[in-house]
Amino acid sequence: MMRDTAIKAAALAAILAVVAALAFLSPLPRDVKVLLQNLSIYIAIYAIYVISLNLEVGYLGLPQFGKVMFLIIGAIAVGGIATKVVLLIYQSYLLKSIGAAPLSNIGDYCMLYQYSAGSLVNQQLAQNPALGFGYFLLGVALAMALSAALGVLFAYPAIRLREDYLGILLLVSGEFLRVVTYYATPVACGVNGAVIPDPFAWASGEARTLVFFAITAALLVATFFVFDIVGNSPFGRTLRAIRDAETAAAVFGKDIVKFRIRVLALASAFAGLAGALLAYYFDYTILGAFLPIYTFIGWTMLILGGQGNNVGAIVGAAAYYAIQTLLDIYKNALQALLHADPTYLAYAVFGLAIILVLMYRPQGMVPEKPVKTIDLYTIRKGTVDKNA
Amino acid sequence: MASRTGLIVGVVVVVVVVVAIAALLASQKQAPTPSTTTPATTSTTAQATTSAAATTTATKTITIGAELPLSGSLQFMGTSGQCAVKLAVHDANQMFADKGIRFDLVVQDSACDPNTALQKLQTLYSQGIKFVVGLTCSSELSAVMNFAEQNHILITSISTSPLLAVPKPYIFRLPPTDDAQAKVLVTLMHMLGIKKIVIVYRSDAWGQGLTKAIMNFSKVYGIQVLGAFGYDPSPSAMPAAEQAAVQKASAALGTPSPDAALEIVSFDQDGAAVVQAAMNDPVLSKVRWFGTDSNVYGTAIMQAGGQALAAAKFMGAVASPNPNDPRYLEFAQEFKQYCGHAPTGYDPYYYDTAMIVLKAIAETGSTDPTVINSVLEQWGSNGTYVGATGPVYFDQYHDRMYASYLIVGVAIVNGTPTWISAGFYNGTTGQITVFPQGQPLFSP
């Protein structure tokens, strides 16, 4: 089983290597390569996000309508906490350079000089890659830990209730967190948005993009590996049993609430990782931008790709971005053809795609496969061998 | 086995998708280009037939991009701005046809979302587009700044946040920052003898920034700010949030007096909720009201309380060339013909974000963003470019200097509350000129 997952993870790594070669080393025009580079990063980040959603929705059948909450938490961990740690480290330098200590008056820092401070911090981080990497790891670790804890905390009041109640609570929780943090300046500079120092400031231009892609790709492979192992373990089989017949699973002694809590903790942690990566990628975050649409983008990717298997989650993310990019490139040509305003074309296309997939291929592009289990003979043989 | 099939399908889909995008984009580059510096520059052939013989003239087509909020909270600005940008391209094509240059426009919806704005910019860049105009929200400009600088994409924006008054190579902002607007509003208040104000503001980056700037400039003129009260501008919080802020402002002002005023820092829809609350307030309904560039000319605010606005001698300032300037009049007339309605608010700025770039490209013959960046810097220091918004000067951060403002107010015309041009603030002299129709608004 582990071998099968390792093969799939290795195949994913190989694909990402091919993509990297195409995007960074091929003789394609520079502007096309830049698009492929950045598209690959988006797909990798959103694949992590959708894989985590897949564990909740595809494996457990949890109505996760508040997924965007963890992108917000990831952004807070990076833009609100890790950034402040770096500002604290360089506080005396900033005081000397611009005559102000950011943490002594966050309001003024956010409204008046965070771009100047960010630029100065980047200059320092460029000379200290180790600190930059530590700052990156801090943001990622905080995002995962906070997301896991808050994911469980927000869902806890309705964790014992039916799916629809839990779904509504999660949806509301995402909006609640967005609105509260957006208007709270101390969190991540509130309505002004937070400038995030670049942890990879030592690498510039295409090298910076390559480093970011390599790290994101490695984290995607690791995420895939973890979730595939979990999905094909006895734990994963129990999740599918709960999804398909909750009452039957409960009769067999499975504690539904405990499984929900564990799944929420694990999936939320990795969604928080995606949020942190997005924040580092943009070097800027504004929490008000994380509208519920980001939850439903994740659902769209999952529905298109296929629920209940991690390959489908990745394919869904890739397909979504490919379609969206192609629409962006060709929508002006389509406008002439359709004689209609193409502003909402992407929404219409994805809406139609979801309807068609649900009607004619509800399993998505990559259908869920039967769980691979070790047959009883092999298990018994192993037990006998051990005892011998 | 089944799992392997899924894996193979996945691999095939991903590879096909990536290769398809690369191939499609690369195929676009195969078109013959007269200039190697701009992949977006393609060559088309215009054939002119004469009675004697057919001659062929080469036309250089240059594509520029526009990122506008065609959906989301600033859609009302984006859709009108899109028409202004299209008009600029239309005008440029007529102006520079004799130079053998033709401009094309590709528009993307940024939705005022920083994540979307960066993705769309990357898509435009992949199409070989190196000039992007119209970026509106400060948050989206923040998100694209690094990418634009790294890839030498020249952006002209109408963002006004003072927070972005920082070095930003390849990015130019056509409207003045909100600091300039605050200065005009406070100058206007001082001229009218206002000594104390309360502020009700939408609590977003724009509202907070402008409010802080008003408070800072008020100190210069000795105007006392008795309180500033923010509200959540999201539609779900309306109108309770606005009403609560108005009540607090009323309590802070205490009693009405001729030297007191209410400053409403809002957009149109939320401004309507503020006006409805203020017109029924026993204190605030008896003092002067001031607005901003984002609620003057508003339809919702006028419908909500046109009579009350007129009674409170409501006035706001919108960055604008002199309305009597022939260039602006020409633009306004042409805009109305082309777009079907009169230009409002930022339309002349949207026009100039495109026209200044198109003109620089046409006059230099260069499509290298680095060259155009230098040209705009030079023009910005000399005021060489004079557009629909007047002469354009840039400061060291590529932000607009010496901006002039139109003072817009509400007066009863033929028994109906109507938006009127009440005066003009000259950015160069700092003087306010009162127009004849605006005299009643300036009287005590």
- pLDDT score of A111 more than 90: no
3-class SS at A278? helix
Q: Is B37 on the interface with A (CB under 8 A)?
A: no
Note the pLDDT of residue A56: 95
pLDDT exceeding 70 applies to what percent of chain A?
96
* Greater model confidence, A162 or B135: B135
- Give tens-digit pLDDT for A186-220: 999 988 899 999 999 999 888 999 999 999 999 99
Length of chain A: 388
Note the pLDDT of residue B10: 53
Pairing of strands B393-394, B400-401: antiparallel
Q: Is B15 on the interface with A (CB under 8 A)?
A: yes
B94-B96-B100-B102 Cα dihedral, nearest 10 degrees: -60
Note the pLDDT of residue B81: 94
Note the pLDDT of residue B279: 95
ipTM: 0.86
Other beta carbons within 10 Å of B77: 24
Long-range contacts of B27-34 (CB under 8 A, 24+ apart): B28/B127, B28/B128, B29/A29, B29/A32, B29/B128, B34/B58, B34/B60
- What is the spatial distance between Cα A62 and Cα A76, in angstroms, rounded to a whole number? 25
- pLDDT score of A163 more than 90: no
Note the pLDDT of residue B41: 45
CB nearest B18 (choices: A22, A34, A42): A22
Give the distance from residue A369's alpha carbon to the nearest chain B alpha carbon, in angstroms.
6
Which of A1, A31, A116, A281 should one mutate to test binding to chain B, selecting the residue with the greatest count of B CBs within 10 A? A31
The encoded tokens of residue B15 equal 């590879």
pLDDT tens across the length of chain B (444 residues) = 444 555 555 555 555 555 555 555 555 544 433 333 343 444 443 333 444 444 455 788 999 999 999 987 678 788 999 999 999 999 999 999 998 999 999 999 998 888 999 999 999 999 999 999 989 988 899 999 999 999 999 999 999 888 888 899 999 999 988 899 999 999 999 999 999 999 999 988 788 889 999 999 999 999 999 999 999 888 778 899 999 999 999 999 999 999 999 999 998 889 999 999 999 999 999 999 999 988 888 888 999 999 999 999 999 998 887 777 888 889 999 999 999 988 877 899 999 999 999 999 999 999 999 999 999 999 999 999 999 888 899 999 999 988 889 899 999 999 999 999 999 998 878 889 999 999 999 987
CB nearest B26 (choices: A28, A34, A365): A28
- What is the spatial distance between Cα A277 and Cα A47, in angstroms, rounded to a whole number? 12
Q: Is B8 on the interface with A (CB under 8 A)?
A: no
CB-based contact B14 A315, cutoff 8 Å = yes
- What is the spatial distance between Cα A190 and Cα B204, in angstroms, rounded to a whole number? 8
Length of chain B: 444
- pLDDT score of A357 more than 80: yes
Note the pLDDT of residue A385: 66
Other beta carbons within 10 Å of A358: 11
Note the pLDDT of residue A294: 95
**CATH of span B179-321+404-442:** 3.40.50.2300
Note the pLDDT of residue B57: 57
- Give tens-digit pLDDT for A212-266: 999 999 999 999 999 999 998 889 999 999 999 888 998 988 898 899 999 999 9
Note the pLDDT of residue B54: 43
The closest alpha carbon to A331, from A347, A345, A321, A352, belongs to A345
The closest alpha carbon to B347, from B64, B134, B80, belongs to B80
Domain ranges of chain B: 38-44+57-175+346-403, 179-321+404-442
The closest alpha carbon to B107, from A174, A94, A345, belongs to A345
Instruction: Tell me the mean pLDDT in the region A5-22.
Output: 93
Residues 259-298, chain B: which have Cβ within 8 Å of A? none
Note the pLDDT of residue B1: 43
CATH fourth-level superfamily of B38-44+57-175+346-403: Response regulator (3.40.50.2300)
- pLDDT score of A272 more than 90: yes
Query: Which positions in chain A touch B119 (Cβ < 8 Å)?
Result: 38, 42, 328
Classify burial at A366, counting beta carbons within 10 Å of its beta carbon; exposed 0-12, middle 13-18, buried 19 or more: buried
Instruction: Tell me the mean pLDDT in the region A109-122.
Output: 92
Note the pLDDT of residue B276: 95
Note the pLDDT of residue B2: 44
Residues 109-168, chain B: which have Cβ within 8 Å of A? 109, 113-115, 118-120, 122-123, 125-128, 139, 142-143, 146, 150-151, 163-164, 166-167
Where are the alpha helices (H) located in A91-205, listed in sequence order?
A: 91-98, 106-108, 114-126, 129-155, 163-182, 185-188
